Every structure is written in C-alpha cells, then in structure tokens.
Chains A and B, each alone.
Chain A
Amino acid sequence: MKVLGALGRVARRAINFLRRDKKAAVGAVIIFALALVAAFPSWFMPHDPTAEIYTPGAGLSLNHLLGTTSFGQDVFSQVIAGTRESFLIAMIVGALTTVISVVIGLSAAYSGGLVDDGLSLLTDVVLVIPTFPLIIVITAYVKNASFWMLIFVLVFTGWSYGARQLRVQALSLRNRDYLLAARARGESGFYVVFVELLPPMTSLIVANFLSSALYAVLAASGLQFVGLGNINDQSWGTMLYWAQNNEALATGLPLWALAPGVAIAILGSGLALLNYAFDEIANPALRPVRARRKVVAA
C-alpha cells in the first residue's frame, strides 16, 4: 500500500509538471507515442516492410502514404518498423551511460583525493578524444556492427560528459549541513550516497539520460547511414543507408531518404524538449521571464 501511495504521488507530481510546462508536455507526448509504435509496430503498419512486391519508385498515394522504394518496398511501413530499433538504442544507451556517469561522477566527488584526481583525469581525457572518429575506427574492425555492439561502443564513448557534470554538482553538495549530519550520525557511505546525495540530483540525472539518449539516436543513425551498422536491420539509419546507396534523391524518390530523417528528428525533438524542461528545473534562472514577473508582483 505504501509503495502504491508513493507511486501515486510521483505520478501526480509528473502530471502537474507536464501541465505547467508546455515544452515538457509536447516532449512527453512524442516519446509516449513513439514508445507505443516501437512496442506494437504491426498496429500501425499497412504493409510488410521487407516485401519487395509493390510498384518500384511509386509516389504518394493512399495505399503508400510515403511512396515506395526503388526495390518496391513501402516506405511508410519501413519507417514504422524502424522505430523499435532506434527507440531501443536511445533508451538503452541513455540508461547505461547515465548509470556509468553517476557511478564515476559520484565516486570521484564522494571519495576526493587521489581517487578523484584519477577519475577526473580519465573523464577529461575520454571527453576530449573525438568520439565519432573513434567509433568509426572500432566499428570498421568489427564490420556490420550488431545491435549490441553499437550499444557497447556508444556507451563506452558516451559517459564522460555526464560524469563530469554530476561530479561538479555532487562536489557542491558534499559539504552541505544535512550531509555532514548524516555522516556524523554514523550512516554508511551507501546510505549517504543513495538516500541523501542522489535525490537532490534527480533533475540533473534525468537531463543526463535525455541528452545521452539524443546523442545515441544521432550517432547510431550516422553510423548506420555510412554502412557501419548491420545493413539488414530494420532501422531509420539503415533506411537512410539504402536510400543513399540507391541515389534516392537523384532518382526522384526524396521521401525515401527524407522520411527516416524526419522520424529521427521527431524522436530527437521529444528528447530535447524534455531535456530543456529539466534544464529549467535544475537552473531556475532559465525559466521563462513571464513567470518570474508574476512572482515579483505577488
């Protein structure tokens, strides 16, 4: 019962937050809709995305909402079918990089001393080595990187920015009175970190998850676009790969190449809008000025 009550409170707070913040509400609706498509693609797909049985290179029609490819596949069904992989990459990479960022950032801030120096140096070095060329080099050796390989590479190269941000915030909280009090009470390090230190950092952690997820979507689609993913997967990036390799733009099939990009951008905008809203929570100065004036008047 207690758990249900707590869940209810969290849900109510989330709904209140979405009502107040339009950007966040739009972002949440986008993410929810895409999650639905990713979970049940067959509900939304008019045709088999892989079947090469339709008139090749057909334009828009009611039967083919976005036309067909030069192989005679339905573009709209491919976009729907590609949602799952792109969505999963965003969520999994976002979650895993956030966990690593939290662990490294908080360990550095909480331990201090040599551990902090070492972890900070590691974070900074990973941060400045250009990620995308490194990913290209790694996936070039792997050849047709599988789904999990892509995830591994993106997580491996993507955690540093968050770790740095979280460390800075944790450092600023480290010597607050309530944390010193917890330590003086003789609470364990585990308790101090998870019960006292983490909760006030929630909005930064969520913002971190969202920006990592955005980074993952864009980087993965870029890799798949140049043919470094598994080219037989159903995803937006591989659609772009096939469209580019068959000169979709030059042969009068722009929708084949442009539609998956718009799909990526819709997912990306959803993540970015939510992220922007969480930025405004973490840093009240960024909130729209209209709201601030009201407070002053009251």
Chain B
Amino acid sequence: MRFLVRRLGFLLVALWAALTVNFFIPRLMPGNPAEAMMATFRGHVNPAAMHALEVAFGVNTHESLPRQYIAYVGNTLTGHLGNSTSYSLLPVSTVIMKALPWSLGLVGITTILGFVLGTTIGAISAWRRGGALDSVLPPVFIVISAFPYFWIGLLAVWLFALTLNWFPLQFGYTETTVPALTWGFVGDVLDHAVLPAMTILITAIGGWILTMRNNMITVVAEDYVKMARAKGLKPRRILWQYAGRNALLPNLTGFAISLGFVISGAILVEYVFNYPGVGFMLLQSVQDQDYPLMQSLFLLITVAVLMAIFLSDIATAILDPRTRSSS
C-alpha cells in the first residue's frame, strides 16, 4: 500500500509540474504572442470568459504573478479552460471532446495491443535464445526504430492508399457520411483506422520486444529458474509463471517511460492521416495560433500519460508482492 501512496504522491507532483510549466511558457516567451490573439476576443466573449483568458496568458492584467497563478490553477482544476479561437469561440472542453474518442480508440487500443504483443514476442524470443525469432527480430526492429514514425505513415499512404487503393487515404470516416451507430459506419471507421493503427503498431512494438527480450535473458539465468527446471516443471509454466512474470516488472516501468514516446509518434501519425484525434487537433491549433486550445491539449495529453503510468504502477503492485509489503 505504501508503494501506491508514494506513487500517487509522485503523480500529484508531476501533475503540478505540468500545470506550472503550462502557466509559465506563454509568459516566458518574448513579446507574449498571446496578446495578438486576445485582440480577436474583445467584444465577442463575455467579460468573465475574457478575464479567464487574461489570467491564463498573463495579458492586460495588473494582478501579481502569484495571484494570477492561483486563479489559473483554480480555473484549470474546475475545467474552465477558456474558449477556442479557431472553433468559433466554443469552450475548449467542448472542442476537445470531439477529438478525444478518436484518439482514445486509435492510440489507446494500438498501445495496449503493441505492449501485449511485443512483450509476448520478446519473451518467446529470449526463451528460444539463438532461434529463428531471436536472430531475425532484433536487427529488423533496430532498423525500423531508426525510421521517423510519420515517415512509415507516409510510406503506408503511398503504398496502400494511393498505389494499391486498398484503404482510404485520410480522416476517421468517409466525410460524406453522417456518423451513426450502424454496421456500415462502424465498418467505415475500422477501414479508416487500419493504416494509422498499423503504422503506430509497427513503430511502437519494437521497443517492447527488445526490452522484454533483454530482461528475459537476464532473468532466465537466475537460480530460481534453474531450480524450476530442476524440479521438472513444464517449460511453458517456467516461461510465463517464473521468468516472464519477473521480466515483465522492468518492462512495466519501461511502459511508463516509453508511453510519452508512443504518444509523440501518434501525434505525427494522426497528422499524416488527417485523423480527427487529439494529436491532429494539437497541430491544427498551432497552425491557427489557437493558444487556449493548444495549451489545454498539452495538459490533456500529459494527464492521460500520467494516468496510464499510475495504472501501470497498480499493475506492478499486483504483480510484485515486494511492493505490497509494509517494510
């Protein structure tokens, strides 16, 4: 339990750090670029919303920095994120909700799939040391990991969408159709998700395979694995219950660290496919100089990553009895 409390404490510190970074970035930039943006708001939004924006970006305000900071933290925690300039001044939270399900579906599913598949393949490849899987996979994924994520996406667009015409070129669904819960629409969404999902999967899986393989190689040499073999346990049981379970622990920590990396790749993959998710929206907001939307998206992505890390901490606590001991 102490382990989880400590990790929860860390989660809060990291959240606070992200909030604070978000607060200071626009203020540290030369000639606060948000000021030009604010001019477009004047007279279009109600005074309370205007004030919230001024607080968020430190424009036109005579309040001291600490008071601005407190007001900003209060606004953010209560979900008052401001209005989006590029989406006809709708509240940022409304705009984000349009993109969030797409990213959760695409990036969420592919990340979990990549982790499970990669870990399994890595474990098996280390178990059969020097086998076909073990000698082919590492060099292949070393080379793949050197390609920019978005470039794999460009290649997929060119090969499978433009040349072979197997899959649609872009967006989350056929833009002429109206989203509805019908089999036809669901099929259309899946059809559009195949290329971006494969791109993220191919680029993300290599890391999981290599780290799991390396952990596994170390663990397999441990005495308790030899002991299990000496006892005559079934190899499959040793592989998953003895070695795999322990090799997975550092991989879970690795999951936390690599998640930010996967998200970065996913942002660019969404951009390549014009996929209507959070990453594409982030880059759009940069182009439109929609700073309230941009900063809220940064916070949202950070919170999502931190939550996923906390979930992996809970998984670690379940898998590793040492973390549950009170000492």
Contacts and interface: CB of A to CB of B under 8 A. Distances in A.
Contacts of B271: 226
Given A134-B298, A249-B158, A272 B145 contact: yes
B21 A128 contact: no
A154 interface: no
29 contacts: A23-B139, A121-B13, A124-B10, A128-B305, A128-B309, A129-B305, A131-B260, A133-B301, A136-B298, A137-B22, A137-B294, A137-B298, A140-B294, A141-B25, A141-B29, A161-B257, A222-B148, A222-B264, A226-B268, A249-B158, A261-B148, A264-B148, A265-B146, A265-B148, A268-B146, A268-B148, A272-B143, A272-B146, A285-B221
Contacts, number: 148
B303 to A, nearest CB: 10
Interface of A: 23, 121, 124-125, 127-134, 136-138, 140-143, 161, 214, 218-219, 221-222, 225-228, 240, 244, 249-250, 254, 257-258, 261, 264-269, 271-273, 276, 279, 283, 285-286, 288-290
A141 B146 contact: no
Contacts of B26: 141
Interface stretch (B76-84, B149-157, B182-190, B238-246): B149-157
A134 B10 CA distance: 20
B264 A264 contact: no
B109 interface: no
B33 A128 contact: no
B162 A249 contact: yes
B17 A132 contact: no
Nearest to A271: B146
Listed from nearest, the 4 A-B pairs whose CB atoms lie closest are A268-B146, A132-B264, A261-B151, A130-B260
Contacts of A214: 145-146
A268 B145 contact: yes
B282 A136 contact: yes
Given A130-B263, A143-B33, A225 B148 contact: yes
A121 B14 CA distance: 9
For B154, B295, B302, the residue with the greatest tally of chain A CB atoms inside 10 Å of its CB is B154
Contacts of B133: none
Contacts of A142: 29
Contacts of A227: 287
Given A129-B305, A264-B148, A269-B142, 19 more contacts: A23-B139, A124-B14, A125-B17, A128-B257, A131-B260, A132-B260, A132-B264, A136-B294, A137-B298, A141-B25, A141-B29, A226-B283, A250-B162, A258-B151, A265-B143, A265-B146, A268-B145, A276-B138, A283-B218
Contacts of B257: 127-128, 161
A279 B130 CA distance: 18
Interface in B249-295: 256-257, 259-261, 263-264, 267-268, 271, 282-283, 286-287, 289, 291, 294-295
A161 to B, nearest CB: 7
Nearest to B300: A133
A225 B268 contact: yes
Contacts of B261: 131
